[in-house]
Structure 1
Amino acid sequence: MKLFSIINYFINLNKTSNFLILFLKFLFYSFLNLHLFTYSYLIKFIKNKVEIQNPEFITWICMPVVSFVLFFFIELILIFKTNNVLYNTKRKNINFLTNKIAKQSYDYILENKTSYISKYNVNLSIVFSMNELIYSFLFSSFFNIPLTILFLFLTEIKIWIIILHCFIALIISIIILVKFSPVLNKLQEKLEEILSLNAKKQIKLLAYSSYFTFSIKERFLNPF
């Protein structure tokens, strides 16, 4: 039950954006499955040796192209929106933790600064993990599995064509991943470095702020 409450908390942090992402996931998997679904009709036309000029054949040729373009652009929007939500979630959690630390005394912050930096890092790790769980698994599975099953029942396409299509997509994904993984690793390292420096700066700023407040109080209480 605790896991569900945590997921609910993270979803409610950016409720509108999360519902938009959920809707985009639905569109993405709908167009992706439509793309696969159209192959069954294309194969029928080819087997029956239908003329290329046939309007119906042209329509079914255009559908996989259009559906591919649509689910490709929807995926790009999803990446942008997901990263935006991830940033907002991270910022809200850091602000919550910062406000909590700000209530502590200067001496307490100075004594536990290592602990607070660790809390920042753990907090960021939890945010990234929960967003990965929500967007890559929960939202995707919610639409991917039922829509895929539905289109498989509707289509008369041979299963080996779907397997071949998925296998080709997997090979392309692996090639892209291998080619760009060094760049992605560098970006991830840079992001972690920036976040770590930001956490240290915020801790230092809080310490100075608390010290300044403490000094003002001392001056008012002991004017001489």
Structure 2
Amino acid sequence: MGFNFALEVRNISKRFKDQDALKDISFNADPGSISGFVGHNGSGKTVLFKCICGFYSVSNGEIYIGEKKVGIGKEMPGNIAFTIEEPAFLGDYSGRKNLEFLYELRHKKDSDHIKKIMEKVNLDYYSKKRVSKYSLGMKQRLAIAQVLMEDEPILIMDEPMNGLDREGVKDIRELILEEKRKGKIILLASHNSGDIEYLCDEVYELENGKVIGRR
């Protein structure tokens, strides 16, 4: 699998009333790369990801996925699967049922595909346990399954290791690298420096909505 378009963020800013959440941020991400974003809470990572996903319009600048511009008055960008902040699932249903509901919004029913994805993140496809009874780590695995099942060329993952034990972190790191090898563009935010150093090709440090470092 390969993809032949890049993600381009060109001098974007985002302002909420009298507060600048993002200030003149630019970067490119190519297929088969992982870009890491680090910074304290409130540094702008989540706002940046939401702008790329089309949830927020930018106040200045431009975002392109290939030749398609992301922004106000336009369709939500395709080609992106994401987990941003705490994922919202239907607590009265099993993990399997949640994934089936979400998958069938855009695809034909495919039980084999859902089963394979759940196995990848070490969740029991046959379990009837309600998501409301899931641990934080199980919910995180379910969120990652949701991202992987769409098989989009761009993955945006905000704190994907949150709530996972050491073995879980190891498993998910390897899954992310597997997606990179498929030629996907991956954007990753993590407070864990180990995740960033192990996974990322480039790292951007954000503070008060600005990129203050790159390595």
Using structure 2 for the length normalisation, give the TM-score. 0.22
Using structure 1 for the length normalisation, give the TM-score. 0.22
Q: Please identify which structure carries the higher strand content.
A: 2
